[in-house]
Structure 1
Amino acid sequence: MNRFLFLALLAALPLTAQSLDLGKGWQIAVTDFEGEARLDADRVTVPKPANPRVPNSHVAARRSSDSDGGALTLQFSNSWIAQLRWQDGAPLNLNPYLAQGTVEFDLNVIDLAHGGMKFKLGCGKDCERKIPFLFAGRELIGKGRQHLSFALKCFWREGDDFSAVNLPFTLEGTGSGEVQISKLRINKTGKATTACPDYRTQSVSPERLQESWAVDWWLPRHEAKLAEIKAHREAGRRVDLVFLGDSITQGWENEGKQAWANSFARYNAVALGFGGDRTENLLWRLQHGELDGMSPKAIVMMIGTNNTGDRLEDPALTVAGIKKNLDEIRKHQPQARVLLLALFPRGEKPDDLMRRHNARINALLPSLADGRQVVFLDIGRALTNPDGTLSKDILPDWLHLSPQGYEIWARSLDATLTPWLAP
């Protein structure tokens, strides 16, 4: 065949053969935490329910003219979750695109100083893949349209089936911001120019917590904890006990305050719990001084339930993150004995998806304990009803403890910690 004729025929192939233009054939849903609307006209505001849980949130979207590239703008303020979601089109078979495919679009970050952003792809039941973009997004504020190109594999994990993708893209905002997206397409062959986390190493790669609702207090809390440890040292007080974890551990300072005073204050204990933390965020904190300047006898660690809640991560990967934190503890505090706790039950009923997922993590944790320097303890039964359900008296939101729950937690640690902490 004549070479020029071949190229002409190739150019005449339908766009969908090599590139899927998501500007056609898909409905755009605009969502708030409590509502949803369709962007069928030039603009729409998500309506509020009669009794909103987040009354001061506002989410709206508008569509520019085709001459402007059909840009879509998402505006959100005080929002838990705001989304532009591509849906209700014919399911896409993206398996042939995985090897070299890219997701590409132009992004204009107009305002994100008090907000965050993620990109998502929905690939079926219990299959939602995301790319966090808070830190990178804030670097683009006021720089106009920027072309982003992600490898399609940024949204893929081993075992995923992309043969019938019904939610091919979601732009998600949190907090307050204004972001514009245009020229969205999925290319069968492309060059990725924008970095994304590797799901295989995310849990072991130290990183600050990348959430809009945490970014204003997370680093200041880290600095405050360093100051707390320094104050103990300068006052000549020995810190014998340290707790490491996420919001459940941070709760010792709130709902668990009385139980803490009764059980642990005499050891000059320090609670290094940060709401929202995953294994990689705790690892960042440990590598930035939170275990330095003291010499505790015992360290209690529980981390990983947010790896489940945020990305339903493969249990083996979460356990790898927990092990990495144990290794970091050994570097900084080799004399300390570590009480490694099983993740607490979550979700009201035993068949809750995340409860079952955490149980798979817990089943792997004993392999990290040697019974001497690292001891594994599962107190889940003390927090559940005989039939396996959870009580609102103990876990009011099926995740975080009440004051009664913290009393149970403290009592459950007594038999192990008291001998360790003896003079």
Structure 2
Amino acid sequence: MNPLSLALALGTLPLLAQLTPPSLPHLLNSEVVVSESGTAVTPPAPPRARRVPNTTAQLYQQRLAALEAGQLYTRLPRHSFQELWETARQNPTYEQWTALLWEEAKATAAGQADNRLCVTIGDSLTQWLPPGIFVGDRLWLNQGISGDNTARIRQRLGLLEGTRPSTIFLMAGVNDLIAGRSVEEVLFNQQDIIYQLRSRYPQAQVVVQSILPTNHQAVNNEDIRAVNRELAQIARREGAVFLDLYPHFSDEVGRMQPEFSTDGIHLSDRGYALWQTFLQQVEDQLARDPSVFNRI
């Protein structure tokens, strides 16, 4: 894949460009009828029902298709390139995901121009953020990978090399806790991630998000709260913004509210809508006044 051929003309992208997938040939899944004149007529196939990716294999193929078409996935409708991804079955490897993120970042860097760039970094929660959060002159790179932990995120921050982020949103750590890693290990890795982001991209505002509550036996919310308490202090010491989402997603006993999740960990459409509201508000405030959170 030649990255030069994938450079995006981002400065001229329309607001959430609409892309209509090409229809199947009319002869597929159609019946031949005869008109009054006796001429055989093939009616057009019914329009394809619009669907959105619901597996990692489908999401990967959709993003790959967008990249190869020279378009930014996060600015397209969720059903884009449906004919190319709807039959995808093969899950990508971790190496394939990182390669895709690297190519997306290079293409964005080549065409970023003066646009603001928002980057989201994390695991599957971040990976499945629906497109269209940041619009207008704001570009968005989604650097989430399903199943990722803080140790691996530490190793892949260089994938953004060449870009000029305005805001970087980080959420990570729940997979570490699910795997039985200690609070101390999660905090050590988080501190290094924040330090690296602040050092590599000094022009960017780094927004460290709390780990969300869960309603699943695989992880203890007490551990999550312990991480969040210390993470808030680390973020402030490192000059980052701390965004505490935990209380907005939790019920009266600190568990994930059922309506915000599909399985107690991953988010439902309603959960994503709530999260997106906070991301948009924080980015809007930072765009207007980058020092606003330093005064709180």
After TM superposition, the score normalised by the length of structure 2 is 0.61
* Residues 405 and 298 (structure 1), Cα distance of their counterparts in 2 relative to 1, 3 Å cut: same
Pick from 189, 194, 202: which aligns with 1:334? Answer: 202
Q: Answer whether contact 2:260 2:267 (CA < 8 A) is retained.
A: yes
Partner of 1:249: 126
- 1:184-223 residue pairs with structure 2 within 5 A? 216-223=92-99
- 1:39-58 residue pairs with structure 2 within 5 A? none
Q: Which has the higher helix share?
A: 2
Partner of 1:367: 233
Q: Aligned to 1:376, what secondary structure does the other structure show? A: strand
Q: Which has the higher strand share?
A: 1
Runs (4+) off by over 6 Å: none
Partner of 1:278: 149
Amino acid at match of 1:322: Q
CA drift of 1:332 comes to 1.4
Q: Answer whether contact 2:122 2:170 (CA < 8 A) is retained.
A: yes
CA drift of 1:224 comes to 1.0
Q: Answer whether contact 1:291 1:333 (CA < 8 A) is retained.
A: no
- 1:17-416 residue pairs with structure 2 within 5 A? 216-237=92-113, 238=115, 240-252=117-129, 257=130, 260-261=131-132, 263-266=133-136, 267-286=138-157, 289-311=158-180, 313-347=181-215, 354-370=220-236, 373-416=239-282
CA drift of 1:335 comes to 1.4
Q: Aligned to 1:334, what secondary structure does the other structure show? A: coil
Ranges in structure 1 where 5+ consecutive residues have no aligned partner: 1-213
Aligned equivalents of 1:416, 1:301: Cα separation in 2: 13
CA drift of 1:236 comes to 4.0
Amino acid at match of 1:228: E
Aligned equivalents of 1:228, 1:389: Cα separation in 2: 36
Q: Aligned to 2:108, what secondary structure does the other structure show? A: helix
CA drift of 1:344 comes to 0.5
Taking only the aligned residue pairs, the percentage that are identical comes to 23
CA drift of 1:418 comes to 0.8
CA drift of 1:385 comes to 2.9
Q: Aligned to 1:393, what secondary structure does the other structure show? A: helix
Ranges in structure 2 where 5+ consecutive residues have no aligned partner: 1-89, 290-296
Q: Aligned to 1:241, what secondary structure does the other structure show? A: strand
Amino acid at match of 1:388: G
Aligned equivalents of 1:422, 1:233: Cα separation in 2: 23
Partner of 1:88: none
CA drift of 1:346 comes to 1.0
After TM superposition, the score normalised by the length of structure 1 is 0.44
* Residues 281 and 308 (structure 1), Cα distance of their counterparts in 2 relative to 1, 3 Å cut: same
Please give the per-residue CA displacement for 1:361-406, whole angstroms capped at 9, x wherever unaligned: 1111122123894011111122123453433321111111111111
Aligned equivalents of 1:248, 1:360: Cα separation in 2: 20
Q: Answer whether contact 1:337 1:372 (CA < 8 A) is retained.
A: no
Amino acid at match of 2:264: W
Aligned equivalents of 1:325, 1:297: Cα separation in 2: 17
Please give the per-residue CA displacement for 1:291-317, whole angstroms capped at 9, x wherever unaligned: 211111111101111110012x22122
Amino acid at match of 1:270: L
* Residues 410 and 384 (structure 1), Cα distance of their counterparts in 2 relative to 1, 3 Å cut: same
CA drift of 1:226 comes to 1.3
Aligned equivalents of 2:184, 2:255: Cα separation in 1: 26
Aligned equivalents of 1:412, 1:292: Cα separation in 2: 27
Q: Aligned to 1:368, what secondary structure does the other structure show? A: helix
Q: Answer whether contact 1:347 1:399 (CA < 8 A) is retained.
A: yes
Aligned equivalents of 1:386, 1:274: Cα separation in 2: 31
Amino acid at match of 1:233: A
CA drift of 1:228 comes to 1.1
